[in-house]
Amino acid sequence: MVPLAVRAFAARVLLGLPASVQRRLAGEPIRVDGQQLATEAQLILRLSPDRGPESSIEQARRQMRATTEVAGGRRIEPVATRELAIASAAGAIGARLYRPDGLPQPSPLLVYYHGGGWSVGDLETHDNVCRFLAVHASTAVLAVDYRLAPEHPFPAAVNDALAAFRYAAEHADSLGVDPTALAVGGDSAGGNLAVVVARLAAGDRRPPVFQLLIYLGADAVEVRPSRVLFGRGFLLTEERIQWFLDRYLPDRADRSDPRASPLYEPELHRLPPTYLATAGFDPLRDEGELLAARIAEAGVPVALRRFDDLYHGFANAVGIGRGGREAMLEIAGALRVGLAIGGAVSPATSRSAQRAPAR
């Protein structure tokens, strides 16, 4: 097997080549559903053929870490980190606080949930994602190491995710953050957890004022057209989606629960302003975009952005190539604006304004 360091170096070299050279290496352009896959994305797919579900959960977790080590690149500095243990009814939840150098206190905070089908991924696989968002959005980030399936099926991850957000709100002073400028966010399964937390914490004294959702899974029941169009050949396959669902939601009766499938949430109007990103060549694209439409119909401000030439997982590719990094720069900019606006019009601010005497 080729060592990880060699694979990482080769990936950086290939994705640093001129676009014309990449085009020759990638082959004929891939066009589906009126979209053309980015050249470097197509090259990555050629280097990373589809895999079927792993034979064991341990193998799947090792593969996730290895893939991230190749695609994530060098650590983004300067970001100070602090390991935390969050007390909960089920035991301690691991977490990591990121704070860019020079960030004033109290600062905004993004509570971030990693992707990985609720079964793989951890603080290390998404370390560079959190560093990138912290630096480029000028915010502190609290990454949450929630419990994973199949050892801890639904709703364990939801309970941990909610407990971590409430911990951040209750311990804002010790974290050096502004309790009126808290956001939730995540990618893939983490985006699913973020929107669920935003809904469950909507009635809290310090609810989220913004949510950042990156190619999330929103429907564990219905197979939508993008899962047919892109269910093979684009890294995240339909077979792997089902494999993840079977581990996180072994009881099929749970799959329509709004805490598992936010598309079935009846009170979407209680969500905060939202930025939702999808990828054009992602099996989960359609359910994410349908959720954005329904949130907008409920009267919540939503910015929907489809990166139509990318695929599921681009957030983890900030260290190599250009496409994933450019997309994440835009996403970080949206987070920065969303936190600034959300903090200025937080529920606490609104209540204070309503109590102020007329002049």
- Catalytic residues, by residue number, are 188, 282, 312
- Scanning the structure block, which residue is given the tokens 């650590």? 75
**What DSSP letter does each residue of 274-296 carry, written as one string?**
EEEEEEEE-TTHHHHHHHHHHHH
**What DSSP letter does each residue of 216-255 carry, written as one string?**
----SS---HHHHHSSSSSSS-HHHHHHHHHHH--SGGGG
Collapse the DSSP code of 208 into the 3-class scheme (helix H, G, I; strand E, B; otherwise coil) and give the result. Answer: coil
- Scanning the structure block, which residue is given the tokens 């903090």? 343
Burial label for 171, CB within 10 Å (0-12, 13-18, 19+), is middle
Of 112, 151, 123, which Cα lies nearest the Cα of 64?
Answer: 123
Q: Which amino acid is at 308?
A: D
Is the Cβ–Cβ distance between 186 and 194 less than 8 Å?
yes
Burial 44-59 (b: 16+ CB within 10 A, else e): bbeeeeeeebbeebee
Largest CA distance in the chain: 74
Total residues belonging to the chain: 359
Side-chain-side CA neighbours of residue 209 (13 Å): 27
Tokens of 228: 């047919």
- Scanning the structure block, which residue is given the tokens 């060699």? 6
Burial label for 252, CB within 10 Å (0-12, 13-18, 19+), is exposed
- Scanning the structure block, which residue is given the tokens 């949206």? 334
Q: Is the peptide bond before 225 cis (omega within 30 degrees of 0)?
A: no
